[in-house]
Structure 1
Amino acid sequence: MMPLLERSWMGSMVLGLLFMVFIAGEAEAWTGAIRGRVVCDVCGDSFIGPEDHVLEGAEVAVLCLTKSGEVVNYQAFTNSKGIYTVAETMPESDRWDSCLVRPISSFHEHCTRRADARKGFKFSYDLPSGHSHTIKPFLYKPASVPTYCA
């Protein structure tokens, strides 16, 4: 036989879980994601070629305006494949309406200068729940271009 204290605790847990399921069923959730890459454009030619490589640890800022008018700010860093991802699940009424993605910095010691003129990329987020918006790669270049690029 289960002690009274354990039965009371388990009953509270079951009631809490049922309440969470009931509340979650009331509001429809929406999930969105933004992803992209950061690349070292070794030759500074604004094209991604075989000499170029991804940048791990590059910082990217994502600023989104929601349908309810709230501004949300995210900070992302690239992984070992040079990819950053920002994802959020929120009520449908608060979903992203428009976003601005901009590079902040590259921590790679040989590739720290911005290679492209874009300061950021602004777009309307009109994708359904569960889909992601992919941004064109942000490019950095080295302070001096290798001689094999000429």
Structure 2
Amino acid sequence: MESSWCKVLLYLTLITNLTLQGVRGWTGEIHGRVVCDVCADSSVGPEDHVLQGAEVAVLCITKTGEVLNYQAFTDSKGIYRVAETMPASDRWDACLARPISSFHEHCTRLGDSNSGVKFSYNHPSGYSHTVRPFVYRPTNVPTYCI
């Protein structure tokens, strides 16, 4: 009878270990901001404002070579976020964040140096990467800026 209990205990230990190994996950986050450079002067001033509802795409390649495509929209503070939880062996390796569109009626022209940002993602689980702000400009700069 003792041998049966040993086998059951060994089996339960094996199942528990396999389950716990599968639970180990990795969590990452990428976030950034989208702003309207009202005077198109490449500096932040009191006339500039964040853009709510701007669309950003984030493309990531995992350590195993899988390509993941995310779509995010900015909140009322102009911040977009993408986050993922996955097995640690599949975590993000490199990513590209790029602006897609601004739905603000007066600020729709993408700034000159905002085609996208490539970066390696080397953060441990639970940490985030901040992408530099994406900037849109108005098609017509207001006269008070000139």
TM-score, reference length from structure 1 = 0.83
Cα distance change of structure 1 residues 88 and 115 upon mapping to structure 2, 3 Å threshold: same
Q: Structure 2: any 5+ residue segments left out of the alignment?
A: 1-14
Whichever residue aligns with residue 29 of structure 1, its letter is G
Identify which of 95, 100, 104 aligns with 2:96.
100
> Structure 1 unaligned runs (5+)?
1-18
SS at match of 1:23: helix
Instruction: Judge conservation of contact 1:35–1:134 (CA < 8 Å) in 2.
Output: yes
- Indicate the percent of aligned positions where both proteins have the same amino acid: 69
Distance 1:148 1:93 in 2: 54
Pick from 79, 84, 88: which aligns with 1:83?
79
Number of matched residues? 132
CA gap 1:21/1:51 in 2 versus in 1, 3 angstroms: farther
Q: Which residue of 2 aligns with 1:4?
A: none
Question: Deviation of residue 116 (structure 1)?
Answer: 3.0
Normalised TM-score (structure 2): 0.85
**Does structure 2 conserve the Cα–Cα contact (< 8 Å) formed by 1:46 and 1:116?**
no
Partner residue in 1 for 2:110: 114
Aligned match of 1:39: 35
Residue 144 of structure 2 aligns to a residue whose secondary structure is helix
Moved more, 41-50 or 94-103: 41-50
Q: Does 1:26 align with 2:22?
A: yes
Q: Out of 134, 137, 148, which is 2:144 matched to?
A: 148
Tell me the distance in 2 between the aligned counterparts of 1:73 and 1:31. Answer: 16
1:10 corresponds to:
none
Decide whether aligned partners of structure 1 residues 50 and 92 sit closer, same or farther in structure 2, where only a CA change above 3 A counts: same
User: Which stretch has the larger CA shift, 95-104 or 39-48?
Assistant: 39-48
- CA distance 1:105–1:21, shift in 2 (3 Å): farther
Distance 1:21 1:37 in 2: 42
Q: 1:60, 1:76 within 8 Å by CA — same for their partners in 2?
A: yes
- CA-atom RMSD, angstroms? 1.8
| Matched letter for residue 129 of structure 1 | S
8 Å CA contact 2:114, 2:135 repeated in 1: no
> CA 1:54–1:24 in structure 2 vs 1: closer, same or farther (change >3 Å)?
farther
Q: Secondary structure at the match of 1:88?
A: strand
Contact 1:30 1:129 (8 Å CA) reproduced = yes
